Chains A and B, each alone.
Chain A
């Protein structure tokens, strides 16, 4: 077995670059929300392929079920009823990992190799290296990773890295009955999206567009939206996502600066000792003390 089945671009908690000479095709999943019927085939296929079975929950008065992502539900459909100009639109969005080019989870992860970004763009969690700290959750601009209650490890959509590695589409994309999930090279997906957007514009959705947010360097899961100007209509899809400045500070500048500061204190102490010598009780003090005691 090879050490790695996909070329790696970045590893969590690793300060040296991964082997990056080979150029592999970037892949992407395109979710055409305008063709999505919210059937949850993607959810079913995801559970089936990845051998995960979430608990049988309850109905919360909505179609969304499971009602949120969990460590065993790596994708969920989110339903939003939007009424505009007297006409109802049922906007249904498949939620899950966006596979950001600049992944906040990976940035935040302290465990070497627990989060990996492959050269094809897939951001994958390796649970055997995961320590369960939840920093990935903190780092994610899309609120995607979940910590399992069973093993305390973080889980999320892997873009079916095991399938992608052997040249197959992710299970959700394969299953999607209406072709609302497409899979291919990122450039092909962008071309396809352009065609869909053209069609939507002809059908009266003047603001149709592609969701591939630059704030996270683009994503490897993209959406075609009828209302690209208002992504938040789709059950709170962030309009301009990015890694939180707090996370950037914490996992960016803070790391070297603080390490340096600590080093400076330690070294400063050492050199102070060496240069100034110990602060010993002076002979005079000893004498005085003895004198006073004997009084």
Chain B
């Protein structure tokens, strides 16, 4: 979330699309209801299903799963052709005036530089024209045909309401009504908030779905504003924190891009990741990358990380390719993995194509499950009748199951979707012999360390020298760990302008990431959490809910990263002169000497407006990108069909088969055969959560099992009639990857859509059920889903695929 949960109450219009906030995040959704009650705000829901969010919406429009870019591209076209944009904002705070390389082209669904063999783009033409100083060239009149604004206008001129309606199945008048409602928030003192979740990410165009809406928000001038922003409503309680800690292959804690084989030396590595400003006077905050990375190495390796050994740069494993979850299972399926551990993760149920996952796990030598619950994955080898048809005697994987504690049995901090880090305290011991995650990881590590110390082995250095300063080595305390994450000075940190002035004394916790240094004098486990445990103590444990601004900022409750900032890009809430666009909802303003207001400025505090330091400080441009050169599948989002589409071609590019689905999406060769066609599988399926359950956890909790006891699928009345299915019947749903059986819920809430002259039925399939749990034993929904991922994030396409249905 660029903003935060409570801030939603400040909005004038809430759009829920690509998500179902009422159902997946009811307690956050309350702030939408609050905005409706207190601000007379409107709520609009666009979804393939009439969801629980839609139940309390002012307006609902149906959409075919996987066509959000067509819809939103149409909105962009509407805003531009009706001149409903926030001009000053667009001109000054986005890259609309930036001039793009003349070689940039878009031709029938493909951007310039496409390589069909590699399923990817050479992005060299997707770049700014630069002047002699290396700065990007701009045309502030926005008239140059090569400026982003004109290119964007041209790109989206194809997204006419007719074509949008034909592609999405959304009735044209519904589409236009929503365009009109959104357009109203182009007024400087009106904001719209966008609440999305996995309904946008879980597509082969997932990242671009979000980008399209981000562009709309920029055109309307809603970023950085109270009640605005683009808000990812994330899945797990601490998915934000774990993302920040970067438990994934391509980044190190604090989103520091991890080294690859191409980054032979530390210098090369740092040079590539330390950009130069693209416009004069910009903060270009990533220029601090070396400080963050060096401080991380000091936290990881302590005294072993020295200037002489490049702060252990070579100890950091280098990637030779993709190692995301899909890639890991593809490797496992190919027999390239020996061992695997799942910590509070149930991939058999939650990854796409369950059969492939089960087959892959069976090829492992050893599997370690660290979980509070008996997960489906932990019993992938066990025959559970029709729900998991395997022969245990043929599965040679050695499986360990280690009991972990739950939230109530440990102290520690969680980071919510609004980036607010909050501490919690242990209430009781876990059952039996269960242990905390830190303790389990420490036990594994210390045993390995002992073995390497005694017996030697491959490259023991990083293991033997991993900093382990914990008072009880077997039980690193959460307090010690958060202090390490937040960072401390190892030597006196002095003012760069005055070396005699000590800013932080050796041994003290740093007050924030600004104090981090690249000379080894600071250690910080995660720069964005810098200052969360300062000399003042554990700021995540603060519980002062006072809210003098009335905006819900509660700056003394917990700690929001970065720097306790609650609304990102908040400098953009004021005009060039520093005057708030909406004085009634002041987030940030220039007081004459400094930035002040009701948040921590996302700006150098003393950057006077005349210095022209632009609000998007994490971009070397200083402004937000309507044209993004870094996306894998195009600088402007384009509509592509889901990999399994009910249509024969992409209505936007009917003549180009290559542009039917995302030409840069992640597909493994071995999975090409696993896709089905509309001939055999005529219905669009989409998977989702229900409010009564949380993933595959609450099926183990009695109360939740009572509230939603059995697997079901939802179908519209028209399809039900065609198929002779009545509510309560058992039905069989098949995709090209397998089948499930479940109870049919027949509903008016799933409409048959008119798409490109074709009737398209949608089948909704909740995901929460499985063969382990207190709920009625059931199939795993992801038996059906395709193993194909987004071009940028590699997130699988759970939200749009093809199935067939019959009475079981």
Contacts and interface: CB of A to CB of B under 8 A. Distances in A.
Interface of A: 34-41, 43-44, 47-48, 53-63, 65-66, 73, 81, 83, 87-90, 92, 177-180, 196, 199, 202-203
Contact of B712 (A37, A59, A81): A59
Given A65-B709, A88-B748, 10 more contacts: A37-B26, A38-B52, A38-B691, A40-B691, A43-B707, A56-B702, A56-B706, A58-B776, A61-B728, A73-B706
Contact of A41 (B26, B55, B708, B710): B26
A88 B716 CA distance: 13
Contact of A44 (B55, B703, B728, B775): B703
B22 interface: yes
B703 A47 contact: yes
A202 B40 CA distance: 9
A37 B53 CA distance: 7
Contacts of B30: 177-179
B23 A59 contact: no
Given A53-B702, A59-B710, A178 B26 contact: yes
A60 B54 CA distance: 23
B55 A38 contact: yes
- Nearest 7 interchain pairs by C-beta: A61-B727, A61-B728, A177-B26, A59-B710, A37-B22, A90-B55, A59-B743
Interface of B: 22-23, 26-27, 29-30, 33-34, 36-37, 40, 50, 52-56, 58, 60, 691-692, 702-712, 726-729, 743-749, 774-776
Contacts of A90: 50, 52, 54-55, 749
Given A56-B774, A65-B706, A81-B748, A92 B29 contact: no
25 contacts: A36-B55, A37-B52, A38-B691, A39-B23, A41-B26, A43-B707, A53-B703, A55-B706, A56-B702, A57-B706, A57-B709, A59-B711, A60-B743, A62-B727, A62-B745, A89-B55, A90-B54, A90-B55, A177-B30, A178-B26, A178-B29, A178-B30, A180-B33, A199-B36, A202-B40
The residue in A40, A44, A55, A59 that gathers the most chain B C-beta atoms within 10 A of its C-beta is A59
B34 A179 contact: yes
B55 A92 contact: yes
Contacts of A53: 702-703, 706
Given A37-B23, A61-B726, A56 B775 contact: yes
Contacts of B712: 59, 61
Contact of B22 (A59, A178, A202): A178
Nearest to B714: A63
B50 A88 contact: yes
A177 B55 CA distance: 15
B443 to A, nearest CB: 34
B703 A48 contact: yes
A179 B55 contact: no
B29 A177 contact: yes
B205 to A, nearest CB: 28
Nearest to A45: B703
Given A37-B22, A37-B52, A90-B50, A65 B707 contact: yes
Contacts of A56: 702, 705-706, 709, 774-776
The residue in B56, B775, B776 that gathers the most chain A C-beta atoms within 10 A of its C-beta is B56
Nearest to A83: B748
A55 B707 CA distance: 10
A35 B33 contact: yes
Contacts of A61: 712, 726-729, 743-746
Contacts of A34: 56
Contacts of A180: 33
Given A34-B56, A83-B748, A39 B26 contact: yes
A89 to B, nearest CB: 8
B58 A203 contact: yes
A47 B706 CA distance: 10
A44 B706 CA distance: 9
Contacts of A55: 706
Contact of A196 (B27, B37, B54, B711): B37
B710 A39 contact: no
A230 to B, nearest CB: 18
B709 A58 contact: yes
A58 B707 contact: no
A89 B726 CA distance: 21
A258 B122 CA distance: 97
B709 A199 contact: no
A59 B745 contact: yes
A40 B692 contact: yes
B708 A37 contact: no
A63 B26 CA distance: 17
A179 B703 contact: no
The residue in B55, B691, B743 that gathers the most chain A C-beta atoms within 10 A of its C-beta is B55
The residue in B26, B58, B743, B774 that gathers the most chain A C-beta atoms within 10 A of its C-beta is B26
A203 B41 CA distance: 11
B181 to A, nearest CB: 13
A108 B447 CA distance: 71
A73 to B, nearest CB: 8
Contacts of B749: 81, 88, 90
Contacts of B774: 56
A199 B40 contact: yes
A58 B40 contact: no
Contact of A58 (B704, B743, B747): B743
A199 B708 CA distance: 33
A37 B728 contact: no
B717 to A, nearest CB: 9
B705 to A, nearest CB: 5
Contacts of B33: 35, 178-180
A83 B727 CA distance: 18
Contacts of A62: 727-728, 745
Nearest to A54: B706
Nearest to A180: B33
Contacts of A58: 709-710, 743, 776
Nearest to B704: A44
Contacts of A54: 706
Contacts of B743: 58-61
Contacts of B703: 44, 47-48, 53
A107 to B, nearest CB: 32
B44 to A, nearest CB: 13
B135 to A, nearest CB: 49
The residue in A41, A43, A56 that gathers the most chain B C-beta atoms within 10 A of its C-beta is A56
A37 B692 contact: no
Contacts of B727: 60-62
Contacts of B56: 34-37, 178
B629 to A, nearest CB: 41
Contacts of A88: 50, 60, 748-749
Nearest to B27: A177
